[in-house]
Amino acid sequence: GAPGSLLAPAGAMRAAGLLLAWALLHPAASQQCHPSSPGGVLRFTDRHAEIQVPALHRVPSSLDPLYGLVRRCLDLIQQNPLPTELLRTALNDPGSVRTSQVVQYELGYVVCAAVALLFTVAVPVAGMCFCYCRSRRRCGGRLRAHRRSLGCRRRCLLACLSFTSLIILISVTCAFVTSQRVKGQMEPGLGAVPSTLRTLLQHLANVPQGVQMVVDKFEVPRKQIISDLGGLSRSVGLSIHAQLKAMTYAALADLQDRAGDLQTSLHHLQILHRTARALAAARAELEPALQERRRRVVALLDDPRCTSCATVLGRAQGLELGADYSKVPSVEKVLKALAGLPRSDFAEMIRQGNGTFNSIPELAVERMAQVIQDLRGDLARTAEKVQSIADGFPLPDYTRPASEALVKAEERSRPYLREVQRFERYRWIAGTVLCSIILLILLCNVMGMALGAYSLSKREDPSDYECRGEAGAKFLLVGVGLAFLFSWLLILLVFATFLVGGNIQTLVCRNWVNQEIYKFIDTPGNLPPSMNLTRQLNLRRDSNLSSTYRECKSGAGLWEVLQLDRSYDLDEHLKTPKYTADFQKRLGDFTTNLGDVRLLRSEGRQDLETFARSGVDEVDYGRFQEEMKNPVVQTSLPGLARSLEGLQKMQRNSTVAGRLAAEAQALWHMQNSTVQSQEALVAKLGESVQFLSRLAPHLKERVKKTLATTASVEAQLPVQAQQILRQELGCFTRKELRYFAQYLNWVRQTLREDVASCQPLATALDNGRVILCDRIADPWNAFWFSLGCCTFFLIPNIIFAVRLTKHFRPIRNRLISTGSEETCPFHIPRVTALKL
């Protein structure tokens, strides 16, 4: 056919279309990004080391039942709600507060004050009266007469005095424990006030430093992106190589096969041509010798003297030449067409194409070096943009009022805290002394009851004097005297601590827990202008302390509370495109040719086209195969020679036998010298014919496909490489943008929840309630409650002790009780000597 017939447009387009479809379907990796490595998530471990206010909580205690009992008692004493009108008047116009309003609200405490006043007056007066009676020997003396019911009354008095002493002991123990707990909590609690205020002040002062620290953390994504940039070019080159190597290697392998077909076909055609000519020449040389040999053998076998030779005569007559290779088609024309091929070095060509394709990763590194350097410069400029976040953050202007308010609060609180600490020291000393006195009274009770009971067990006559009983009675009277002497001090300490602790619980703590205090502060007009917290803390005009407290407790940011969102839009400043536009555009605009690989040069293409047009496929290899089916000689020379040797042994005529032996020897010589060499040439010819006959039918189609595939691959490699480059850069861009987004989201969250968080304010308020109410007020109120129990149980203690002292002393008149009447004692007369 014509030279261009092998690359017909229709066939080339069909091959290229199939190859393109394969390339679009198989490299699935080109449509997807590689899975993110474990380093795809940034870790900002060193977050802003802000000043945190540690949250305090109520600690469960074994005294919780006592605390609950005291709170219920205070709820019964003070049942009025928060006096909003009274507090508004007291805060705005203290001079207009009426005493009746205070008394009406503090009615429960007024009643308790009256009881305390009555106790303060009545008990010392009763004590003085008791002392006067004792001086007149009318109280605490001795029983006048003995009755049978005295034992029962004595035991009842002992039990009652023991019971009251036990209650007083339990109460004074609770008073000791709660007093010590108040002392232990008061000092750290008072110290927590300025400490918390300083912590809040430091928290506000550290906000700019915190913002700068957050901005400095841009170093984390920057280092990660720079690290990724370092391996980008090689990664792109390796990805292009990995996704295109199957297609390229297949084309090179196909080209190598066609080059091999060309070389092998040329070799076998040459063998075919030489062997056919050699066989034809050998046949021409063999033909006269074979005819002469047939004539002589036939003549010998036809000799009458030859015994049994007729059986072999037919075979000898068939001694003729077989295959005639002068009749097979000539391949000389094909060899002339292939003369000088291959003109190109296919092995070197394939090696160069393979080397060019395998050098794509190194080429990518070289071609992308400049853009990577530019991207590093873009990152440096992005760091400057990120720094503008810290430079433009307006928080210090908005936190200044709150900072000034905290400074004033700390300065004004110090004198009051010192006074509270001083009064607490006095309270603890007074409480410890009075509790010790109560213990002394209990000791007198115990000693008196022990000595008195022991004396009663040893006394035989109730009217007998017993020193131990007298000592027991005196111990009881000493305890009574101490109770009369210090009871008014006890009641004064109880009422003073009760008045302070009770009002703290009912006026402050109870309304703090139910947030009535916040509602009072939020109501307009309740606080004077100098105490306007909304203005002093620069809160939103539509906000109040309750909502601010809830927002802060939920972790709201300072700009929500301090109106920062109206003057500084954090979301606008942290939009990702603002920082990634240049980086993204540079990667999007980058393009380079990484797939320009030459697989087949024009010389090689011409060699293959010449090979396909050479007519190798037009040779009738069937004629060769048909001739090869015929033997060189129709009759087997070795078989005929062995038959002649067999006839030789059967002959009686020695002359005939000699001639048969000579003819057999001649046939063997012809077989070994001529026929065997021709048979070897036929075998060699068969190999070449077999190869060429297999190759010839598909030669043009294979060469055509190889040329089309090679041309299509050369055309598609740059296109596919560019697509993979765009996809790899797109994946890389999305990956790096995720780093930017992670960092900016972290900045947004940190600035809102950590650096610029007002949660420490809510925590400080909660801590104040825990310290004041749970850790100080509860044991404080339990202290006066326990001490009050001791004080009031001293009254029955005095009564029972005074009544019991009479039973420990001897009875004045020894009477025997007979129910309701008394009889005179019966005296036995003394026996004396009679004078007769």
DSSP at 329:
P
Q: Is 255 exposed, middle or buried (0-12, 13-18, 19+ CB in 10 A)?
A: buried
CB atoms within 10 A of CB 820: 5
Give me the pLDDT at residue 503, please.
Answer: 92
Residue at token pair 């020291």? 425
Query: How many CB atoms lie under 10 A from the CB of residue 821?
Result: 6
Q: Sort 718 into a burial class: Cβ within 10 Å, 0-12 / 13-18 / 19+.
A: middle
Read off the pLDDT of residues 395-432 as tens digits, 9 standing for 90 and up: 766 777 778 878 888 888 888 888 988 998 999 999 99
**Taking the alpha carbons of 347, 350, 353, 358 in that order, is the dihedral positive or negative?**
negative
Q: What is the mean pLDDT of the chain?
A: 81
Q: Is the pLDDT at 306 greater than 80, yes or no?
A: yes
Phi, psi of 173 (to 5 degrees): -65, -45
Per-residue model confidence as pLDDT tens digits over 578-598: 888 888 898 888 888 877 888
Torsion sign over Cα 454, 458, 462, 464: negative
Please name the residue that has the structure tokens 């296109």. Answer: 719
pLDDT of residue 466: 64
Using the CB atoms, write b or e for 124-141: b if 16+ within 10 Å.
eeebeebeeebeeeebbe
- pLDDT tens digits, one per residue of 471-480: 888 888 898 8
Average pLDDT rounded to a whole number, residues 496-515: 91
Band of the pLDDT at 535, cuts 50, 70, 90?
Answer: low
At 426 the pLDDT is: 92
pLDDT at 282: 85
- Residue 230, CA distances (Å) to 358, 362, 364, 589 in order: 21, 13, 12, 19
Confidence bin at 458 (pLDDT 50/70/90) = low
Rounded to 5 degrees, what are φ and ψ at 195? -65, -45
Predicted confidence at residue 440, as pLDDT, reads 94
The yes-or-no verdict on residue 555 having pLDDT over 80 is no
Check pLDDT > 70 for residue 810: no
The answer on pLDDT for 542 being more than 70 is no
Average pLDDT over residues 460-472: 65
Q: What pLDDT is stored for residue 816 in this prediction? A: 42
Q: Is residue 445 within 8 Å of 479, Cβ to Cβ?
A: yes
Query: pLDDT band for position 784 (50/70/90)?
Result: very high
DSSP 94: G
Dig out the tokens for 571 from the structure.
């979301």
pLDDT at residue number 70: 93
Average pLDDT over residues 441-446: 92
Q: Which of 241-255, 439-453, 644-658, 753-767 has the lowest mean pLDDT?
A: 753-767
Q: Assess contact for 595 and 606: CB atoms under 8 A.
A: no
d(CA 118, CA 124): 10
Name beta bridge partners: 757.
557
What mean pLDDT comes out for the span 16-24? 40
Looking at mean pLDDT, say which of 26-35, 293-302, 526-535 comes out highest.
293-302
Across residues 200-223, what is the average pLDDT?
84
β strands within 569-634, DSSP E = none
* Mean pLDDT of the region 645-669: 86
Q: How confident is the model at residue 65 (pLDDT cuts 50, 70, 90)?
A: very high
Q: Report whether 51 contacts 202 (CB < 8 A).
A: yes
**Predicted model pTM:** 0.60
Determine the pLDDT at residue 494. Answer: 93
**CA angle, 440 then 445 then 451, to 5°:** 120
Where does the pLDDT of residue 76 fall: very low under 50, low under 70, confident under 90, or very high at 90 and above?
very high
Q: Judge whether residue 254 has pLDDT over 80.
A: yes
Residue 207's SS3 state is helix
758 phi-psi bin (left φ>0, alpha ψ -120 to 50, beta other): alpha
Q: What pLDDT, on the 0 to 100 scale, is given for residue 11?
A: 42
